[in-house]
Amino acid sequence: MNEKPQDESSPWPLEKVVAELRQVRHEWRERQGREPDLGTRELPAHRQIHEVIDALCGILFPMRLGPSDLKKESEDYFVGHQLGHALNILAAQVRLELGCQQPRLTHSLQVQKANDIVRRFASTLPELRRQLDQDVIAAYRGDPAATSVDEVLLCYPGLLAIMHHRIANVFYSDGLRIIARIIAEKAHAATGIDIHPGATIGQHFFIDHGTGVVIGETAVIGERVRLYQAVTLGAVRFDEDEEGALTKGEPRHPIVEDDVVIYAGATILGRITIGQGAVIGGNVWLTRSVPPGSRITQAVLRQSIDPAG
């Protein structure tokens, strides 16, 4: 484009900015060792994954999260049609991530592996729905403000979060980290609940309110556990800070056994165990394991109360 005369009246320095941006991209790609001849986007895309997830919500709960004009007599047709559509898109995205992980695999082997993964995923959907039904029950029983299971399904961000997590976790288990994270972040953006797709979560799980909850990659949560907003199941980080590069993938988040309740704002850090049936009070800060059946409450702080103002 060297013969193009710079238009005097042009308000924006488009050519200059475009060239400089190309230069910065070039530098980044060189530093990252990216192949110079890479012609296409090799990564899964938000829009497609989001479309798949929205379709799956409708597939799992057609009369509640499907199209508002769906009739019960059309349920199976809707489910079958949406499922075929969603799995096709998904297979293409899975292949993209596999191709990114194993660029030397032939295209047709990538397709075959992707189809295998998606076929297995499809087979888990009925069990997934069964688990989510239990999560709905757990929410209904766990919140005095809930007046019906329908209210839970339509209005509880905690349910939305666990629905996304149970789907994301399947892909994480298959090594598809980026797809899994895109799903998890979709829920995080909508609910403020940040569950890493690697976390292991048992049946009858309920998070109330939820904003600010963080559950780490290697956390393990038992059955019938209940969490409130702003609970953190995180890693202790002081030790790792000195090391320079961080060790990735080690178990570093808590194990929470069955029937535990953790109230709002509690921070539980490190590979510790919260014993079965324990109740952790609001704002408690815990870095050591506690035995089954414990009741942990924050000591009442001496508060400066000046009744006269």
Residues ≥6 apart with Cβ < 8 Å to 86 = 51, 52, 55, 56, 59
Residue 161 near residue 195, CB atoms below 8 Å? yes
Measuring CA to CA, which residue among 118, 161, 153 is closest to residue 136? 153
Q: At residue 19, what are phi and psi to the nearest 5 degrees?
A: -65, -40
Residue from 105, 141, 200, 273 binding a second copy (CB under 8 A): 141
List binders of a second copy among 221-260 (CB under 8 A): 229-230, 232, 234-235, 237-238, 240-241, 245-250, 252
123 contributes a contact to a second copy by CB under 8 A: yes
33 contributes a contact to a second copy by CB under 8 A: no
Three-class secondary structure of residue 194 per DSSP: strand
Rounded to a whole number of angstroms, the minimum distance from the CB of residue 202 to a second copy is: 19
Residue from 53, 94, 117, 118 binding a second copy (CB under 8 A): 118
- Give the C-alpha distances (Å, rounded to integers) separating 288 from 142, 180, 268: 27, 30, 8
Taking the least distance from each CB to a second copy, the nearer of 105 and 122 is 122
Residue from 113, 115, 223, 272 binding a second copy (CB under 8 A): 115
Rounded to a whole number of angstroms, the minimum distance from the CB of residue 257 to a second copy is: 13
Taking the least distance from each CB to a second copy, the nearer of 158 and 255 is 158
Measuring CA to CA, which residue among 226, 127, 210, 201 is closest to residue 161? 210
List binders of a second copy among 50-109 (CB under 8 A): 59-60, 62-64, 68-85, 87-88, 91, 100
- Give the C-alpha distances (Å, rounded to integers) separating 216 from 198, 268, 283: 8, 11, 18
Rounded to a whole number of angstroms, the minimum distance from the CB of residue 10 to a second copy is: 4
Residue from 209, 254, 256, 257 binding a second copy (CB under 8 A): 209
